[in-house]
Structure 1
C-alpha cells in the first residue's frame, strides 16, 4: 500500500511539473538562484518519445483485428509517453537551487536533497561518466554524466524513492553550467564565513 501511495504521489508531481512547464514557471525557487541540469537529456527523452509513437502506430496496425487489445495498448503507450514528457518537464521546472544557507540538489520529481552550505567541505567541477554505487555516495547523473562533486563534512540524510534512509557524505550531480554553480557555492560559503555571529 505504501509503495502504491509513493508511486501515485510521484506521478502527481509529474503532472504538476507538466503544468508548471506549460506555464513557464519553476518549483521551489523562493529567494534562491536556479541552476538547470536538463539540457543533457533533452535529445534522449525526445528519442524515447519518438520510439513510443512509432511503437504505438505499429501495434495499432498489428492489432487492427483485435480492437479491445488495440485500444488498451494505445492507452498504455499514451500513458508511457505522458510519463516520459513529465519526467523531462520535472527536470526543467525543478532545478538545483542555491540560496543563502543551503544547496537544494534535485533530479526530476524523485530526488530533492537540501544540503546546508556549512556541511560542504569541498566543491569542484569534475566530469565523470562512470558511477559505481557505493555507501555514502549519491550520484545524480544526467545523460550518464556528472559535472560537480560535493564532499561533505558530515553525512546528510537522503531518503530514496521508496523512503529508505541513506546517509550521504559525497554527492555527484550534473549542472548545465557547472563552473557557475561551483563558483556560486564557493562565493556563498565565503559570504557565510565572514558574517558576524
Structure 2
C-alpha cells in the first residue's frame, strides 16, 4: 500500500508538471524567474534531446504494433493504451524537470530532479561548494549523486548530514551532494555569498525574564 501511494503521488506530480509547463509556470518560484529572494536554476537542458528521442521511439513503436496487431483488436487497444501511458510519463518527466528547478532562497538550497527528488539543505550546513564536472559516479554511503545526462557539475560538502528520502520513502543521511545545473557557474557564484551570510547571521537572542 505504501509503495502504491508513493507511485500515485509521483504520477500526480508528473501530470501537474505537464500543466505547469503548458501555462509557463515554475513550481516554487511564483509567476516569474524568482519570487522575492528566490532564484531558480534549471538543469533540464542536457536531457531534452534524449527525452525527445524516447518519445519518438514510442510513437514509431505504437504505429508499427497497431499494424502488426490489426487482426487482434483487443490486444491492439491494450498495447496502444500502454504506449500512450508511457508517452505521457516521458513527457511528464521532462516537464517536471523544466518546471521544478533548483531553488536558492535566503535560508535553503532546494535541490531537485524531476518529480522524485526534492532535497532542502539549510545554507548554514554547507561547508564547501565548488564547480566540478564529473561524468562517473560510484555509489557510496553518505553521498548523493543526481546526474543529468550522466554528469554532475556542482559539488556540495556539508557540515553535518541531512536527510534524503528515496523514491519509495527510504531515508538516507547524506553529507556530500553532487548535482547538475545548466548554469553551474551562476549557481555557485550566487550560492557562495548566500552561504557566508547564513553562517555570519546573528542567532536570535533568548527571551529575557520579565
Q: Which range, TM-score by smaller chain?
A: over 0.9
Q: Can you list the C-alpha shifts for 1:106-133, whole angstroms capped at 9, x where unaligned?
A: 0000000000011100000000011111
Identify which of 52, 69, 74 aligns with 2:75: 69
RMSD of Structure 2 on Structure 1 (CA): 0.9
Q: Which residue of 1 aligns with 2:128?
A: 122
Match of 2:32 in 1: none
In the aligned structure 2, how far is the partner of 1:40 from the partner of 1:72?
Answer: 33
Q: 2:62 aligns with which of 43, 56, 59?
A: 56
Runs of 5+ unmatched residues, structure 1: none
Give 2:15's aligned residue: 15
Report the Cα offset of residue 187 of structure 1.
1.4
Q: 1:152 aligns to what?
A: 158
1:169 is aligned to 2:175:
yes
| Runs of 4+ in structure 1 over 6 Å off | none
Q: CA deviation at 1:189?
A: 1.5
Cα displacement (A) at 1:73: 0.3
Residue 43 of structure 1 deviates from its aligned partner by 0.3
- TM-score, normalised on structure 2? 0.92
> Equivalent residues in 2 for 1:1-197 (5 A)?
1-29=1-29, 30-31=35-36, 32-197=38-203
For residues 96 and 130 of structure 2, the distance between their equivalents in structure 1, rounded to whole angstroms, comes to 26
Q: Deviations over 1:81-104 (max 9, x none)?
A: 000000000000000000001100
Higher-Rg structure is: 2
**2:113 and 2:158 mapped to 1: Cα distance?**
19
In structure 2, do the counterparts of structure 1 residues 4 and 196 end up closer, same or farther at CA, with 3 Å as the change threshold?
closer
Decide which moves more: 184-193 or 34-43: 184-193
Superposition deviation, residue 196 in structure 1: 4.1
| Count, aligned residues | 197
Aligned counterparts of 1:101 and 1:83: Cα–Cα separation in 2: 33
* Matches of 1:109 and 1:82, distance apart in 2: 14
